[in-house]
Chains A and B, each alone.
Chain A
């Protein structure tokens, strides 16, 4: 069980190896890697292209919030291992932002807990995205879809 907040990139393969090494009860890992995608706010309009973003966070609270989310996943599913690595700072299109890994004896728990962790960290961990476009900087607004995705886990407790 681990949470890391860092500016540097991470090596997904090395992280997975580290989790499975020494724990032979893990039957499968579910992995989510979030990336900065190049977006066109309005299709075809060059000035709205998002080239990079800067992720700001709340040092101290971020670690606590992610540890709480991780503990909640562990209460709900039988998990052997979890890892959340979240980057901050300036990230360009194509770069990795976040890594969520869940190891369990069986795949159902791993898949479900991984999805839960991603949904909850989007709405409960203090990160903010500032987008860079050719027209200037713009703070990203919260997505109703993210709230809905997080909310379904409030009701559907396994």
Chain B
């Protein structure tokens, strides 16, 4: 599964995207966040509890209880500031 990071989260994590293979008990976006935090200090900081960020599963906005089984791409990003 591909994980993408945007805006300040990309700089804090240190990469724009990475390929990961989470274990079978990582079932939701929230599970994935918890699992990704262990990868590095940058991950832990960007995905910290209380940090303001959202997620998308296969390019559609998703809540943290959304399942990720079968997902090809999960993205994390700060609140949108376009327009």
Contact = CB atoms under 8 A, between A and B. Distances in A.
Contact of A61 (B7, B75, B78, B83): B75
Contacts, number: 71
A55 B61 CA distance: 19
A58 B82 contact: no
A126 B56 contact: yes
B28 interface: no
Nearest to A97: B83
B17 to A, nearest CB: 11
Contact of B79 (A86, A97, A98, A142): A142
A112 to B, nearest CB: 17
Interface string B40-81: 000000000000100010011100000000000001011111
A60 B60 CA distance: 10
B59 A142 contact: no
A121 to B, nearest CB: 5
B78 A139 contact: yes
Interface of B: 4, 6-8, 52, 56, 59-61, 75, 77-83
